[in-house]
Structure 1
Amino acid sequence: MTPEQITGTFVDFYRERGHLLLPESSLVRPPDDPVLFTTSGMHPLTPYLEGRPHPLGRRLVNVQRCLRTTDLDEVGDSTHLTVFQMLGSWSLGDYDGPRSLRWGYELLRDGFGVERDRLHATVFGGDGPVGPDTGSLETWGELGVPVELTGHENWWSNGPTGPCGPDSEIFVWTGDTPPTGTPTTDRRWMEVWNHVQMRYHRDGDGRLGPLRQHNVDTGMGLERMEMVLRGGRSVFEGESFRPWVRTVTTLWQPDEETLRRVCDHLRSSVVMISDGVRPSTTGRGYVLRRLIRRMLTQLWRDDPSRTLSDLPGEPFRHTLDGFRLGTGFGDPRDVLLDEERRFRGLLRRGRPVVSRYRSRGPLTDEDYRYLHDTHGLPRDLVDGLLTEAA
């Protein structure tokens, strides 16, 4: 199934069950939101999860572009991405968790054709003052899907405070052999869908209290689901990455891990730029700058003459179309090329400065702070220059 077919199947399934389509939000959060980016489909819904009536009702479904910096160091493996698309459904004080799991199983089996013996679930087994999620455990038992009980791994929150609760994660077997083990013992079990029961609110002092209403929030990663349905071994084999993989491979022939990181960072940067983010020294702009410079550092490690000006227009257009974005914030290619020029200049100026400090011995934390505050050289860039000189 293509990403469009997966999305259509998901949305149609929930619309048939009374869910209304929720408009997609920008990656960029409003000024009064303490979080820089939209990290999940539920993020814009926080006030409604806490009890405010939603204008579209109590059953919602949508497709949302998301960005998570917490997974940045994992990018380069077969499943983690910086920017990805999340298929989500919500019950705002309407139906319960077991019904959500039953619908989820029905959609996976009948809508996507995933066999039951390729499924495994994890369920919150209790932790501290909150007991085990017996409703989910019993539901999976009735459906014949094996379950593994965990602790904090099956507790979901969007930050240190706010709505939270136990979740049940659904995994699909991606190995070449018959399924073995459990999600915590065999990495070939890949998580594709999370069903969260938002029952609690965590205060600033860490205490849990009941929410005004019990909600259900589900999130399915589109790129991972495409991988499962295509029988692939990596999200980078999917349709949304194909133009980037083909282009980067043809131009620069990097190793597999570098190829994945470069393609992820390029695609993510295009989405961020098209949502109005610009490289800078703080906040969202610094996240974008770090992505671009990490990607360039990877490319220049083997050949400093490589340049983003060699990139054709096709992968840019493909990403804008795939994420339903326009060019109202300018051409992302121009922003990338401008940042490349700035980074080359910074490296040219920074190499002798770092070499001078390195000649005195190993760098201290004070040296790193001085290089950042005085010369604009962040720690990861300094470390890259040190590796380059070694």
Structure 2
Amino acid sequence: MNTEQLVRTFTEYFEDRGHRRITGSTLLPPSGDPVLFTTSGMHPLTPYLEGRPHPLGRRLVNVQRCLRTTDLDEIGDRTHLTVFEMLGTWSLGDYEGPQSLDWGYGLLTDGLGIDPGRLHVTVFGGDDQVGPDTDSLELWHGRGVPVELTVEDNWWSNGPTGPCGPDSEIFLWTGDTPPQSTPTRDDRWVEVWNHVMMRHRRLDDGTLVPLPQRNIDTGLGLERLSSLLRGRSSVFECDVFDPWRRLVPPLWQLDEPSLRLVCDHLRSAVVVIGDGVRPSNTGRGHVLRRLLRRVLTVLRRDEPRRGLGDLPEELIRHTLDHFRQDVRPEPVRRVLLEEEHRFTRLLDRGRRILSRPRFRGPLTEDDLHYLHDTHGLPRDLVLDLRQQ
């Protein structure tokens, strides 16, 4: 089952259970939203989770592209992506947590053929404000799925204030031996689906008050689940990366973590550009610039002549088509090459400045601040240049 088939199976399963499919938004939140990018499927639905009636009703399902800058330092491992797609379902004051979990269990086992013996779940164990999630615990015991109780790991929030609530996370065993231990003690358990019982609002003073309605918000990473269903432990072995893994290694010889980073960041940059962002020194443009400069730093670490001009147009077109972005590959390529040219000039200037007698010894924090504030040389770039 490839990602397209998985999306169709997921949405049809929940449409059969009264959910209406809604169109996912771009990576850009509505004007006035303080976050840079859409980080989850629930983000565009916040007004409806807080009580506004949705025009399509109280049961919704969709696929939403997301970008999380908090995961940038994790890229290169087996499970994290910068831009990814989230399969999501919502109950806007309709059904409760046990119903959502029961449907989730049914889709994974009956719909997708996952052996129930490879599943483990975590459930909120309670704290000094909210008691344990006994409803979810009872549902999982009834299905014979092992449960681990946690506190912080099973409390979901979208920030220090705002909608929040307990959640139950479903994990899939990826080890070669029979399942062992629990999700918090063995990283061979990989989280695939989070079901949030969004019932509370946290105020500025830390207290909790009830939301106007009791919601369910679930999220399931498409690329992660697809790779697991293919028997692979890496999201980079999902079918959406097949052309990248076919075309990039003959072009640039890279170790596996570097290959993952280059493929992820270039693919993410194409999506961000396709949604209308351009490189800059602040905001969304700074995130895009950071993605591209990390790619160029990796590519040129062993071979200074490597460049984005070699990137096959097929990969740009494949990414734009997958995310249904009505943009031609040529303007995207032009943005990539212009940013590469800027970075090359910055490298040349950085090398000249760092060759001055003042910077030939160990660099102090004052030196790093001066290089950044006066010459526009970021700390990471300075440290990389010193290692060359």
Which residue does the alignment assign to 2:206? 206
The residue aligned with 2:47 is 47
What amino acid maps onto 1:126 in structure 2? G
Residue equivalent to 2:157: 157
1:70 corresponds in structure 2 to: 70
Q: Which amino acid aligns with 2:310?
A: D
Corresponding position of 2:124:
124
- What's 2:265 paired with? 265
Q: 1:342 to 1:16 in 2, by over 3 A?
A: same
Moved more, 193-202 or 308-317: 308-317
TM-superposed deviation, 1:268: 0.5
Distance in structure 1 (CA, Å) of the matches to 2:110 and 2:317: 33
Q: Which residue of 1 aligns with 2:280?
A: 280
Which residue in 1 is equivalent to 2:374? Answer: 374
Shift in CA distance, 365/209, structure 1 to aligned 2, threshold 3 Å: farther
Please say if residues 121 and 148 of structure 2, whose CA atoms lie closer than 8 Å, have aligned partners that are also in contact. yes
Question: Following TM superposition, by how much is the alpha carbon of 1:378 offset from its aligned partner in structure 2, in angstroms?
Answer: 1.3
Q: Secondary structure at the match of 1:276?
A: coil
Structure 2: distance between partners of 1:35 and 1:368: 28
Superposed, 1:356-367 pairs within 5 Å as 356=356, 359=359, 361-367=361-367
| Aligned counterpart, 2:289 | 289
> Structure 1 residue 370: deviation in Å?
2.0
Residues 127, 152 of structure 1: 8 Å contact kept = no
1:70 aligned counterpart, secondary structure: helix
In structure 2, do the counterparts of structure 1 residues 328 and 94 end up closer, same or farther at CA, with 3 Å as the change threshold?
farther
Decide whether the 8 Å contact of 1:21 with 1:60 is kept in 2: yes
Q: CA deviation at 1:122?
A: 0.6
SS in 1 for 2:302: coil
Residue 58 of structure 2: aligned partner: 58
Alignment of 1:1-390 (within 5 A): 1-327=1-327, 331-356=331-356, 359=359, 361-388=361-388
Deviation, structure 1 residue 128: 2.7
The offset of 1:207, in angstroms, is 2.2
Superposed displacement of residue 238, structure 1 = 1.2
Looking at structure 1, the residues matched to 357 and 338 of structure 2 have their Cα atoms a distance apart, in angstroms, of 29
Preserved contact between residue 274 and residue 330 of structure 1 (Cα < 8 Å): no
Once residues 113 and 334 of structure 1 are traced to their aligned partners in structure 2, the CA distance between those partners, rounded to angstroms, is: 45
Moved more, 220-229 or 313-322: 313-322
CA–CA distance in 2 between the matches of 1:228 and 1:48? 32
Q: Aligned equivalents of 2:198 and 2:38: distance in 1? A: 18
Whether the 8 Å contact between 1:68 and 1:83 is mirrored in structure 2 is yes
Q: Aligned partners of 1:309 and 1:128: how far apart in 2?
A: 57
Corresponding letter in the other structure for 1:154? N
Are residues 49 and 329 of structure 1, via their aligned partners in 2, closer, same or farther at CA, if it must alter by over 3 Å?
A: farther
The answer (yes or no) to whether the contact 1:357–1:363 under 8 Å persists in 2 is: no
Unaligned runs of 5+ in 2: none
Give the aligned residue type for 1:186: D
Contact 2:313–2:329 (CA<8 Å) still a contact in 1? no
Q: Displacement of 1:205 after TM fit?
A: 2.8
Q: Residue deviations 1:170-214, cap 9 Å, x none?
A: 001111111111111111110010000101111223222111111
Contact 2:249 2:259 in 1 (8 A): yes
Gaps spanning 5+ residues in structure 1: where? Answer: none
**Cα distance in structure 1, aligned partners of 2:291 and 2:213:** 39
SS of alignment partner, residue 192 of structure 1: strand
TM-score (norm 1): 0.97
How far does residue 56 in structure 1 lie from its aligned partner after superposition? Answer: 1.1
Deviates more, 1:119-128 or 1:289-298: 119-128
Q: Which moved more, 1:317-326 or 1:165-174?
A: 317-326
Distance 1:358 1:174 in 2: 53
- How far 1:312 sits from its partner (Å)? 1.2
Deviation at 1:5, TM superposition (A): 0.5
Report the CA distance between 1:43 and its aligned residue: 0.2
Alpha-carbon distance, 1:357 to partner: 6.9
Once residues 313 and 28 of structure 1 are traced to their aligned partners in structure 2, the CA distance between those partners, rounded to angstroms, is: 25
1:275·1:329 contact (CA, 8 Å) conserved in 2? no
- Count matched residues: 388
- Whether the 8 Å contact between 2:118 and 2:172 is mirrored in structure 1 is yes
- Preserved contact between residue 166 and residue 196 of structure 1 (Cα < 8 Å): yes
Shift of 1:329: 9.6
